[in-house]
Amino acid sequence: MLQNDVKQDIVGRLIDKEWIFFGQVNNIGGRASCQDDFMTFRIMRSSQFETWDEEVLLSYERDLKQAEAAGRNPVELKYAYMMQETSPEYFERELAPFLPVIEEETKRIAEQIIEYEMAWYHKVREKYPYFTGLGRPEQESEDGRMTSVFVYLRGELYTYSTETLNRYLEMVKKKEKAGSNLIRETFENTAKKYGYRDLDTAEREGVHSASKIAAEGI
């Protein structure tokens, strides 16, 4: 089996496992429509996972298996940690007493990763404002319905084990040294999965379509 096939198998396993966790998340307002949209979920998660080194993927897979064995839902924990920023009063009153304590080492490594990834995100946002604007905002939305890139990233990293975070940080540093941009790679994957030739084409055609619709008053 080719190395790329092995990686795709791992990615597939991660998506299947996360999808189960995602479906079990209890939302305050009831089940969300996105919990029944597997196609979008698969596109978003695979676009991210396919940029990771195999060692990081395997380490994260171990995290998911350990979480399942311990009766934890890491996807639910991710959203809970995000609420420390989006709904601090609710978080402190209803969630914090029941959540696993985040180790200082986890916070330290996560913040290093965030620094790299947000710098990459800003570069991509500057060059591809239309396409990146279709996803999560850089800042929290006023109505609180869309969590920012920064808050989402931190919430997710806080659910990773120290081993996975260390491997992830090594990967990030390696990509930075090579002049790569992990965030751009993710958006590139997303554009292709939605049928575009590449990210440049998605940006160009998307802006053109939006401008045409606006001009025609549709």
- The predicted-structure confidence for 82-94, as pLDDT tens digits, reads as follows 999 989 999 999 9
Of the ranges 45-59, 72-86, 141-155, which one carries the lowest mean pLDDT score? Answer: 141-155
Q: What angle do CA 89, 91, 94 make, to 5 degrees?
A: 100
Q: How many CB atoms are located within 10 Å of the residue 129 CB?
A: 11
Are the C-beta atoms of residues 62 and 16 closer than 8 Å to each other?
A: no
Could you tell me the residue range of the domain that residue 128 belongs to? 3-216
Residue 100 is classified by DSSP as: P
Higher pLDDT, 76 or 30: 76
pLDDT value at 11 more than 60: yes
> How far from 43 is each of 12, 95, 188, 193, CA to CA, in Å?
11, 30, 12, 7
- What pLDDT score does 150 carry? 92
∠ CA 132-133-139, rounded to 5° = 105
Q: Which of 39, 37, 49 is nearest to 12 (CA)?
A: 49
Q: How confident is the model at residue 3 (pLDDT cuts 50, 70, 90)?
A: low
Distance, CA of 67 to CA of 131 (rounded, Å): 34
pLDDT of residue 144: 53
- As a whole-number percent, the residues of the chain with pLDDT over 90 amount to 76
> Please, which pLDDT band fits residue 215 given cuts at 50, 70 and 90?
very low
Whether 51 has a pLDDT exceeding 80, the answer reads yes
The 10s digit of each residue's pLDDT in 108-148 is: 999 999 999 999 999 999 999 999 999 888 766 544 566 89
Lowest mean pLDDT among 8-22, 114-128, 199-213: 199-213
Instruction: Answer yes or no: are the C-beta atoms of 62 and 162 closer than 8 Å.
Output: no
With a pLDDT cut of 70, the percent of the chain lying above it is 89
Q: pLDDT value at position 190?
A: 96
d(CA 101, CA 20): 24
pTM, rounded to two decimals: 0.89
Domain count of the chain? 1
Q: Is the Cα dihedral 33, 34, 37, 40 positive or negative?
A: positive
Q: Are 132 and 187 in contact (CB under 8 A)?
A: yes
Structure tokens at 64: 């998911």
* Between 112 and 2, the higher pLDDT residue: 112
> For residue 209, what pLDDT is reported?
57
What type of residue sits at position 3?
Q
**Whether 175 contacts 181, CB under 8 Å:** yes
> Would you say 190 and 44 are in contact if contact means Cβ atoms under 8 Å apart?
yes
